[in-house]
Amino acid sequence: MMASSYNAKEEDGHPSGASGHGGPGVVKSKKPDNTAFKQQRLPAWQPILTAGTVLPAFFVIGLIFIPIGIGLYVTSNNIKEFEIDYTGVNMDSPCYTCAKNFSWNNTTPCTCSVDFTLKQPFESNVFMYYGLSNFYQNHRRYVKSRDDSQLNGGRSLTDPSKECEPYRKNDELPIAPCGAIANSLFNDTLELFHIDSNGSRNAIPLVKKGIAWWTDKHVKFRNPGGNSNLTQAFLGTTKPVNWRKPVYELDPSDPENNGFINEDFIVWMRTAALPTFRKLYRIIQKKSSTTPTLPSGKYTLDIIYNYPVLSFDGRKRMILSTISWMGGKNPFLGIAYITVGSICFFLGVVLLIIHHKYDTRNNSADIPN
Amino acid sequence: MERRSSEDTGTVKAPESRRQRKKRSKENKTRTVHANLLYDAANKGEENPNRHYANNKIKTTKYTVLSFLPKNLFEQFHRFANVYFVFIALLNFVPVVNAFQPELALAPVVFILSVTAIKDLWEDYRRHRSDKEINHMDCLVFSRAERRYVEKYWKEVRVGDFIRLRCNEILPADVLLLSSSDPDRLCHIETATLDGETNLKQRQVVRSFFDLDCEFDPLKYNSVIECEKPNNDLNRFRGYIIHRSGRRDALYKENLLLRGCTIRNTEEAVGIVIYAGHETKAMLNNNGPRYKRSKLERQMNVDVFWCVIILLVLCLFAAVGHGLWMFQYGDKRPVFDVLSPEGTDLSPIMSAIYLFLTMIIVFQVLIPISLFVSIEIVKICQVYFIHQDMDLYDEETDSHLQCRALNITEDLGQMQYIFSDKTGTLTENKMVFRRCTVAGVEYSHDANAKRLAMYQEMDSEEEECTSHGSTLPRRDSVTSHQSARVVLRSQSTKSHRRTGSRAEAKRASILSKHTAFSSPMEKDITPDPQLLDKVNDCSSQMDFMRFHSQPMSQLPSDLSDTIDFFIALTICNTVVVSSPDQPRHKVRMRFELKSPVKTIEDFIKRFTPSRLTSGSNSSSSSSLITNRSSNKGCSSLLSSPSAESTLTKLHEERSCGGLENAFSPVPPCYDGKASWNIEEGELRYEAESPDEAALVYAARAYKCSLVGRLPDQVTVELPHLGKLSFELLHTLGFDSTRKRMSVVVRHPLTDQITVYTKGADSVIMDLIKPPNTGNSKGKRQKKIVCRTQNYLNLYAADGLRTLCIAKKILSQEEYACWLQRHLEAETAIQGREELLFESALRLETNLQLLGATGIEDRLQDGVPETIASLRKAGLQIWVLTGDKQETAVNIAYACKLLDPEEEILTLNADSQEACALLLEESLHYIQAKFLCSSADQTTKAFHSSFAPFDLYPSSSLSSSSSHAAPFLVHRLGLVIDGRTLAYALDKSLEDRFLAVARSCRSVLCCRSTPLQKSMVVKLVRNKLKVMTLAIGDGANDVSMIQVADVGVGISGQEGMQAVMASDFALPRFRYLQKLLLVHGHWCYSRLANMILYFFYKNAMFVALIFWFQFYCGFSGSAMIDQWYLIFFNLMFSAFPQLITGTLDKDVSAETLQQLPQLYVNGQNSEEYKPYMFWMNMIDAFYQSLICFFIPYFAYADSDVDLFTWGTPITTLALFTILLHLGIETKTWTWMNWLSIAFSIALFFTVALCYNASCPTCYSPSNPYWTMQRLLKDPLFYLLCVITPVAALLPRYFYRACQGTLFPSPVQVGRQLDKLPADTRRNILSLSRVKVGSPLSPKPPFLSLSKASPKGCNKNDQRSITGSKTLEATQGHADEEKGRSCLSGPTDSEMHLSDLYTLVPSDIDTLPYTKDAPQPAEELQPPSTKVSECLDKTLEPSDVSLSGWITSTPLPTPADSVQLNLLPDGAPQCVRYTRNSEERLKPDHAVHPAHRTEQEVEQQLHTKL
């Protein structure tokens, strides 16, 4: 009957819910619009995942992946790769002494040479890499320890970013290039000689340009004050602690490859993703279509051993590799495709069995309504 | 006055103003109001005692321009999550720790904070605008300077001002009424904006100004008002006015006009402002929207907590790892291990500690920062869609569902208990007078019943154009007025319902709404001929006696009883009569004011100046109408082309009828009030409750019409006697404790002081004067009481609401004695209510019973269906009503709450002990009946045989109960009355009560008070740990609504209080079905899936970085660019999940409604169970492993650099995450496609732009040209193809297997969706489709098992699978399969029965009836026999044979009834087959369930 107590509340200004959408029309009915969207009746595709409906997908994936995998695997196998470790851990290694005696502060270069034999000729362009293991170029503090604007020839040449600490200044002079990455620049020199059948050493021409990203070389890295006189440009800066020579002497022979735009330097500055990595060192161009770039036979690798890795149990390698459209030799992707494809196929079969055995209900295929 | 303005912040003002008041005043308990005029004049503003009171300027905004930022931030930091993120962001500024660029790390936090801030700002701005609009409305305030009323803004009104109000104006403040243009010193107000009640309320001029002859002159006013402090009780106002003479006059709520109300029917009123601005009652009643935390959110918070733990574990792991890594190098510091910026060496332990902090930053994404924001957004969208649902829109009232609580939409999908009010919720609260008993004689009102039946019919009838109804000649059929009226009415109503377009019908309904509780159905009552004769007879005798001035007491007692009965019906109420023209002019106003104001915006919208002028226009036109009404006649009305609505026509008809049938002579005691000079048929009654209106209309049908009500006088028109004015001495209003109301009047004919009482039969019967059996009169009395009681029981059994009418004649002395004490009570300020209550008790004794009435409260449309389907959905429905037991039980039967086939436990106890005993007994009874007998059975088996929802016997019931003992719901009904309930709710008994109640299928609490209602809800909610929903429509349901997890208000006839307290407001009960079953289900499943997905997504992304730590010396390095890392969640992967979270539909609305069982999904939280979080985590870790290691191996020992390697990983992760969402998305609309495409496009666009933008910025990643290079790399694409596939393979496979081997009910529902519409409809209409997983031994829920037998099937399949095309279009293939299988004319029905095992719903109750009484018998069937018989059937040859048998076309479809199998162990299957002749034939009793059971069944089935 009569309300015994009132507890009425007038709502304050808050719009209750989406009443804001309710249409401002004064006399307008509050009746909602009968649109597919508002009534949640948009045309829709409603797949139902059952053995019957997904099994084609499994087979299709299997059928597509397996050939791709085989293709990739074959491609990868066609790539020729040769790898040699010259760290000098073992006593019998030619570089053992160099490795033993070495530290960053050594001034006299230590050289050693490693002989090796290529069993198969390398036909196309050969890429020569140096590889490091156990070298954590991806360490958080290491990765940050650089100043891109300095490397870009910017004004921070003489006032590097704080990120470079503690490799920012040395004896009150700003370091160019600053930072830990630059400081730890890989400074071994590798030379490759082909030993003829008659025993003579033929130096193999190693191209040292074109190993860095084009954008790095031409956009990201710039020498300060144009490229006229690097010594002048880097006046007032000092070399990184571990370096033997200042940055403007990295490649005195070629002004286009000197200073910050030295490609070896640029390649090094691109920090590797994983602790075991390789970096492109040189390219051996194919000379003619008839002769292989590197015929099979004996070779010698001459190393000016500068870079200490033993302290952190690192390894140094030299890698020769040809390259395909999908990059270097790596059978993994091919195998992965084949595996995934096979698994899909197998699961497809399982589903087929399940479907036949249990899925007796009427599963209509996914037909869009 | 201005000093408050600075403090007028915030909507919740109470504490503030309280504090202030304390500080300010010593006069603590009261407020003194003087007229401002006295102080205005001579710069005495300083002395004005009113100056401390709040002015009328309102300010509901939270912020000012200056305070916005600090205040908003302060509020936002109250959220734990925000603090966490700010902490993380600040951590970045610590140099040793910093992982990201500190500025960048702030981005997400700033983003989140600013989104929220913008939202708040916008809301606040809207409030500000509305405040401004309200503050600048005009009103007339008396100015001393100009000595007249001048226009002022609302905000300039102060306490103590005199205000002149005109008709249809809105009150700017709480005003004490001092003068009214009304001759009776009345003022009518409409309080719809406050409480939603549509009837007009009378307000009275303060008594001391009552006798003022001339116009009220504010200048002469010099009284002081003392009243209560501002409070929010709309129904209370106490105080007194002290005149200069020292005289005090009491002030009541009847003197106070409340802010926000509208003046009606009164040309002009003057009052003094008592409370202004925020101190008005309306503003004090302003509560902001409510904040509730949903169950899902609570569950989510637990998992957020787990995420924190996982985060800490990961960080700790990394920190230890880093320490060890450092340690292994010892003193030989490698070149890549950079020293700290200061150049100092860090010890491994220190680095580990720093690293721990760094990792927290790096892994911060694991705590889903955007989850909270996303959930808000999704919920707002969900609310929007619920609002937009056409099915929840009620055309009649032009109202749709309102979501008032924005953040518990998903709770709707998890309800387990529903507590419902009865009146107005299940029923329409349209009271229709059905029958009555007068002086022990029953008048059955058959014609009236017929009339009502007609309405019912009309409701159910479909389109049938009968516009001729309006053209029917009416006058001709007057001869036998009774039947004619019936015809007439039915036809006219028909025409009202049918003729017009929808718009017209709507208009009519709006028109009819303006008078509270008076649809034509309620108003047109066909009198019982006998009773009518009696009334005529009686009144003519009285007339005769009066004429001959004989004492009235000589009237035969039955006649006098009759006339008294009708007089009581007419005057014992608070019904206000409004003259015919007024409602009509109100109509014009109300046409726009369709529904009660719900928001301030609404409020403003309606009260914009233009509207006000239009309002006053119509008010001025009212005089015209009055003129017309004075000279109008029936014919003029009929010919008037006013056909603006069919309703008007209705009134015209009635007025004609009224004229013709009324043989009222010139009234002898005509009281000369011109305003009431109208035809009776035109009168409109504004009642506070529908019962009152119904009774008044009923009395009018017998020519006893109420024609006028003044504060001290009621005018009644009686046949022969004409208009009689009863001097109204007192009105003792209705209250829920007394359950009755009384009026004390002076009878104009006998001059006796008579008390008429009307109330609940239980109360009145106790108050009846014990008849003195000595004399005949006493005997007669006794007989009357006795008979009436009989009829009352009968009425109750019919589901009618009963009221008893009684009277009492007071002698002068008695009255004087009572009056004295009553007056004392009235003038008391302290404890006035109690005193008045006692006073009423003193008066209402020794009554003489006159009769009783039975009022029908019709069930709302669709209530039984809704209850049935809600129950199927596994919801327990309890009805808590204030009605008497019999009525409640009958309504319960009517709405299928109780089933005639089930037993009913009725608990009626007189004492605590009795109650305890009763409960104990019932508990034993239940146990004995249902437990012990099946002792040898496993509990599980027991479950399924008795649980009504045998779909999920073990899981649903036991999981929903926190108690160890499994609880089952039996086919029992529990009825308990209020008194017993009070005992049962006692601490000592509540557990037992619950134990009994929960094992009953339905519970009905009668005669329960509002408090009990809320106690019951609280008890169930707290003890059973279930989700509760309370639904009700009246003020008495408010407490229950507030206590429940979800409160639903019905915006019905009883005002808006329930709605105001509710979280959701529905126009009708039946909409609850769609709200819960569809929207609840959707909201729940969407949000649950979204939350799980969020956890997965973040974990997966973070884990990528975690794996990387193993390869970077646990240095906290990340291969993913920090930009991607931070924006991945906010931008790249944000949209698709929002779309899915908003729009995904697992099952269509149609199926959800037709298959309510699917609701159980939400009740058991099946979309988001605790283990699912961990499954998702494991999946996330697996996927991240794949996404990390495939690129890892693909790029192992290559010259790839950190970020060139990290970018593909990011890309892969994005693809994987999106595809994962794709697998989880059930409904793909173009929005989903678009959002996914947009996400991917956005990622690449951003990446490309970002990578091209600056060659030297974004240290350390410096991603210049990375993406561009990657896009040229075939390896990148190869990775993009294989990784997501490999990552999602297990999930995809699992989903597929799940879909086939153990499909959830929801999946089955989705399969149903796929079927062609008509097939599906057939299946659903036929019923519970049986069964479930082919593997699990669990009782199948529902399965669409293909019944087509093996032989046929195989052949068939071979033939079909031969061609691929058929498979592709399998939707049709069904049909084709069927066709080819059936090799003959295919009857779709038959096809169906062939494909599905169907259980017609009407039969599925059978096992209960069979089982319940003798469970033991049923449960121990000789299984050997059955298996034998099965074995026979199972012989291989038979199998194929039987297969062929089915495939032959049958002439008629045969429905096979299949009952669900038992979970395990002893399976039982009773099967009935219904052939076309509807003959039931029990076939097999039980057989063991094995894997083959289904096949077996199929065979059996097909054999049949």
pLDDT at B1241 > cutoff 90: yes
Smallest Cβ distance to A332: which of B380, B1057, B1194? Answer: B1194
Q: Which residues of B508-544 are buried (b: 16+ CB within 10 A; e: fewer)?
A: bbbbbbbbbbbbbbbbbbbbbeebbebbbbbbebbbe
Token digits of residue A333: 């992707």
Confidence of residue B1461 (pLDDT cuts 50, 70, 90): very low
The pLDDT of residue B1183 is: 95
Q: Count CB pairs under 8 A between chains A and B.
A: 447
ipTM confidence = 0.91
Q: What is the pLDDT of residues B10-28, one digit of tens each?
A: 333 344 444 444 444 444 5
Q: Range with the lowest mean pLDDT among A39-43, B56-60, B191-195, B1004-1008?
A: B191-195
Mean pLDDT of B899-917: 84
Q: Range with the lowest mean pLDDT among B126-140, B471-485, B756-770?
A: B471-485
Interface test with A, best of B517, B1198, B1259 (most A CBs within 10 A): B1198
Burial class (CB in 10 A: 0-12, 13-18, 19+), B244: exposed
Q: What is the pLDDT of residues B925-949, one digit of tens each?
A: 888 776 554 443 433 333 333 333 3
pTM to 2 decimals?
0.73
Query: Over the Cα atoms of chain B, what is R_g?
Result: 38
C-alpha to C-alpha distance for B235 and B37, rounded to whole angstroms: 29
The pLDDT of residue B22 is: 42
Q: Do B234 and A8 touch (CB under 8 A)?
A: yes
Q: What is the pLDDT of residues B715-752, one digit of tens each?
A: 888 777 777 788 877 777 777 667 788 888 887 777 77
Q: Do B1289 and A344 touch (CB under 8 A)?
A: yes
The pLDDT of residue B318 is: 94
Q: Yes or no: say if B34 and B48 are a contact pair by the CB < 8 Å rule.
A: yes
Q: Nearest-CA distance from B1255 to chain A in Å?
A: 5
In chain B, residues with a C-beta closer than 8 Å to the C-beta of A18 are 380, 383-384, 387-388, 403
Confidence of residue B662 (pLDDT cuts 50, 70, 90): very low
The pLDDT of residue B555 is: 67
C-alpha to C-alpha distance for B127 and B1182, rounded to whole angstroms: 50
pLDDT at B829 > cutoff 80: no
Q: Do B1371 and A30 touch (CB under 8 A)?
A: no
Confidence of residue B1418 (pLDDT cuts 50, 70, 90): very low
C-alpha to C-alpha distance for B946 and B951, rounded to whole angstroms: 11
In chain B, residues with a C-beta closer than 8 Å to the C-beta of A72 are 1278
In chain A, residues with a C-beta closer than 8 Å to the C-beta of B60 are 12-13
The pLDDT of residue B1191 is: 94
Question: Does residue A172 sit at the B interface (CB-CB below 8 Å)?
Answer: no
Burial class (CB in 10 A: 0-12, 13-18, 19+), B466: middle
Q: Do B286 and A45 touch (CB under 8 A)?
A: no
Confidence of residue B198 (pLDDT cuts 50, 70, 90): low
Q: Yes or no: say if B1428 and B1420 are a contact pair by the CB < 8 Å rule.
A: no
Q: What is the pLDDT of residues B1133-1170, one digit of tens each?
A: 889 999 999 989 888 888 888 888 889 888 888 889 99
More confident residue, B1156 or B681: B1156
Q: Range with the lowest mean pLDDT among B674-688, B816-830, B1207-1221?
A: B674-688
Which residues of B are documented as binding site for Mg(2+)? 421, 423, 1033, 1037
C-alpha to C-alpha distance for B336 and A179, rounded to whole angstroms: 11
Quote the DSSP letter at residue B58.
-
Q: How many CB atoms lie within 10 A of CB B703?
A: 23
Q: Which residues of B199-217 are buried (b: 16+ CB within 10 A; e: fewer)?
A: bbbbbbbbebbeeeeeebe
Question: Does residue A59 sit at the B interface (CB-CB below 8 Å)?
Answer: no
**Active site residues per annotation of B:** 421
Mean pLDDT of B1429-1445: 35
Which residue is it, tokens 């066909």? B526
C-alpha to C-alpha distance for B1122 and B362, rounded to whole angstroms: 9
Q: Do B1275 and A278 touch (CB under 8 A)?
A: no
Q: Do A16 and B337 touch (CB under 8 A)?
A: no
Q: What is the pLDDT of residues B939-985, one digit of tens each?
A: 333 333 333 333 333 333 333 333 333 455 667 888 888 888 888 88
Give the residues of chain A that fall short of pLDDT 50. 1-27, 362-369
Q: Do B389 and A32 touch (CB under 8 A)?
A: yes
Smallest Cβ distance to A49: which of B1035, B1117, B1299? Answer: B1299
- Percent of chain B having pLDDT more than 70? 67
Cite the DSSP H helix spans in B1412-1491. 1415-1419, 1423-1433, 1436-1447
Closest alpha carbon within chain A to B1223: A49
pLDDT at B1446 > cutoff 80: no
Q: Do A16 and B1343 touch (CB under 8 A)?
A: no
Question: Does residue A103 sit at the B interface (CB-CB below 8 Å)?
Answer: no
Q: Yes or no: say if B455 and B859 are a contact pair by the CB < 8 Å rule.
A: no
The pLDDT of residue A100 is: 81
Q: Range with the lowest mean pLDDT among A275-279, B104-108, B1279-1283, B1479-1483?
A: B1479-1483
Domain boundaries, chain A: 53-79+328-357, 83-323
The pLDDT of residue B1222 is: 93
Q: What is the pLDDT of residues B421-479, one digit of tens each?
A: 887 788 777 777 777 888 777 777 776 667 666 665 554 443 333 333 333 333 333 33
Mean pLDDT of B1176-1191: 95
Smallest Cβ distance to B1054: which of A3, A146, A344? Answer: A3
Provide the pairing of β-strand B1064-1066 with B1046-1050.
parallel
Question: Does residue A241 sit at the B interface (CB-CB below 8 Å)?
Answer: no
Q: What is the pLDDT of residues B131-149, one digit of tens each?
A: 888 888 888 888 877 778 8
In chain B, residues with a C-beta closer than 8 Å to the C-beta of A340 are 1282, 1285-1286, 1289
pLDDT at B828 > cutoff 50: yes
